[in-house]
Amino acid sequence: MKSKALILGVTGQDGSYMAELLLEKGYEVHGVIRRNSQSTLRNISHIVQDTEIYNKQLFLHYGDMSDSCRLNTIIAEIRPDEIYNFAAQSDVMISFAMPNYTSNVCGLGVLNLLESVRANGLERRTRIYQSSTSELFGKLYDEKINENSRIWPRSPYGCAKAYAHYISVNYREAYDMFICSGFLFNHESPRRGEEFVTRKITKAIARIKLGLQDDITLGNLSSKRDWGYAPDYVEACWLMLQQDKPDDYVIATGECYSVMDFVIKSFAYAGLDYRNHLKTDKNLIRPSEVDILIGDSTKAREKLGWTPKVSLDEMVKRMVDSDYQKEYSKINK
């Protein structure tokens, strides 16, 4: 019998890559999507269009992390063996504008999920992956962050994720549930949302290359991040749920680059001089900034046998190439 997996946030970057991974491994995959006036399926459209997979191996359900009744119904119907929670309002800047919504989805939404699993009597059967974030450690400077580092969030998003992490640990200890939290440091891909700085950069470069725009405007260029490749990180999430015991893991490359470094690498690959196209705007800087984040994934490497495969330079190439093809296709339909 096929293992059943439920992916919350299946249309996002991580959720879509997880759907691909699980389908390749022979899972029956169920994904939760939110109702929207516009299509949100672009990251999984290639799967949905495959008639040999859609509604045979992949099933989609409307729902929302803030709707506990709907979550309970979905889990009761599916009775999944594994749950991967990637659902979130994950834009840090937007979390300052929408702190209540962010807290409801990223914080209390996780409580809704865990209670739904318990209410359906699945606490000893269903394994749960909770997607945590490096933003939990926002004010820790000049040190590599591991699983024992102090949690010190610097945004409503980080605070909501802190609650989600602690409630997950509490339910693991109180009810003997198999719950793993992955402290995923920044991870990018061609499927990254366009509101995130990496995609904002690579999309702008594609449009500049095609003569569709002249400049790109960014905020803090000195922020430093530990950037990895999303499909590599999704594999780590799957590995967590294949272990004998639940635990929490930092997933990171251990290398740190600034936003300016990403700009220089991206423009250089495209054959452009960033100095002719880059502008800055102080209004794009967050109310409380995180200056540097770098992770220590020793535990994941030793216990999970996980290592990142795609370098930053290779990731930059894939993202620039992907955005160029997308923008080129738009003007050559």
Residues 6+ apart with CB under 8 A from 67: 112
269 catalytic residue (yes or no): no
Q: Which of 135, 188, 235, 327 is catalytic?
A: 135
Give the length of the chain: 333
Closest by Cα among 155, 166, 27, 163 to 84: 27
E strands present in 44-147:
58-62, 82-85, 127-133
Query: Is 291 exposed, middle or buried (CB count within 10 Å of its CB: 0-12, 13-18, 19+)?
Result: middle
Q: Which of 11, 133, 202, 253 is catalytic?
A: 133
Residues 6+ apart with CB under 8 A from 288: 138, 154, 155
- For residue 216, which phi and psi values (nearest 5 degrees)? -130, 135
133 catalytic residue (yes or no): yes
115 catalytic residue (yes or no): no
Q: Which of 27, 157, 233, 249 is catalytic?
A: 157
With residue 101 as reference, give the H or E element that holds it.
helix 99-103
What positions carry a catalytic annotation?
A: 133, 135, 157
